[in-house]
Each structure stands twice: as C-alpha cells, then as structure tokens.
Amino acid sequence: MLNNQRLPKVHPDLLSSTLQSICGNSRLAKETYALIRDENPVLWALIQVVIDDENKSMKFKQGYCKAAAQFYYLLSTQVECNELNNEYE
C-alpha cells in the first residue's frame, strides 16, 4: 500500500480483453511504455536496469518489458474503470 492507496482488484473480463489488446497491438505497447516513462519514473528506472543488464538475454529483456507494460496497462485501466463506476453510483 502506497500513500494509503491499494492496487485495484482486476476484474476477470478486463484481464482477458486487456491482454488481447496489448499483445496484439505494438502501438499500444509503445504508448504504454511512454506512459510508464512519464507517469512512473521508478518503474521506468527498473525497466532500464533490466534493459541495460548485459547479462540478460534479449528474449528475457523483451519478456520483462512486455510484462511490465501489460501489468501497468491492466492496473491503470482498472483504476479508470473503478473511477467511472464510482461516478455513476
């Protein structure tokens, strides 16, 4: 828990649609990397550490970056959904 905020509980429907969206759309993945860079410098720094690690294979680096983008996109989308739901309750 950071700043008295909890990570959102991800709805199963959102999980499957989000993973399909980001896995099948390289532009969306690139946009998500830009969001991470702009909105979450700590996570961006962690990604950079892995990218710069000469001991990690390219396949590992790509998988790590893809997973980071997927989780970030998933959590940020769930936060948006929760905010919209709260507005209409």
Task: Tell me the pLDDT of the chain (89 aa) as tens digits.
Answer: 445 567 888 888 887 777 777 777 778 888 899 999 999 999 999 999 999 999 999 999 999 988 898 889 888 888 888 888 888 86
pLDDT on residue 50: 95
Q: Collapse the DSSP code of 5 into the 3-class scheme (helix H, G, I; strand E, B; otherwise coil) and give the result.
A: strand
Burial class (CB in 10 A: 0-12, 13-18, 19+), 22: buried
